[in-house]
Structure 1
């Protein structure tokens, strides 16, 4: 019952009912990445290109698409990584979830979220004071 409700009411959790139906009707499975995301193609877009889409495993986050699959999804290559021996370049880093809103988020020096005292104002900046 939980999975049915998630399928009906959440777009960020895998796929919706519409995507599931479209995939069943027109989708041809192309491959799967190391994170468990499944890639499909089928039908034609309004630009005359073949439609390509991904069904995420779990939370839908676009940055969770590996570099090889990203190129295929955006029509930069016609051959998906599942049909070639794709090896990521050494400068291509693996997926790291977006830490915004979590304790691992970046907090610059002077941020109210950083413990300690804020640094004194220096330079050509003078803080505004009422009547000053």
Structure 2
């Protein structure tokens, strides 16, 4: 419950920070205001929205940082399994002998005998004349 609440507030803070950063004017906008392109008096005072948006962004960034640390702490305290494989019961193998993935080399007695009229595979047959 607490982790869900922290996650929702974390996402909300992230979206709010993005919106506030996009609302702020860049430094190049001040040069345009000097030539009459922008209004110097606004609802937020003679300094404009710069100080209000900057302070709000700083507060939201601090809260975002705190929720990040809180989520990291809550994730470290989790004790229940995270995946289905971790929930699966562990069963013992049917036999005590472990199956070998590497085949054992064949002994001389294990090989089938070659017919007498064919030469062995590693020897070259004489060329026909």
Pairwise same-fold verdict (TM > 0.5) = no
In the superposition, the TM-score normalised over structure 2's length comes to: 0.22
Relative contact order higher in (CA < 8 Å, ≥ 6 apart): 2
More strand by share: 1
Which protein has the bigger helix share? 2
| The structure with more radius of gyration | 2
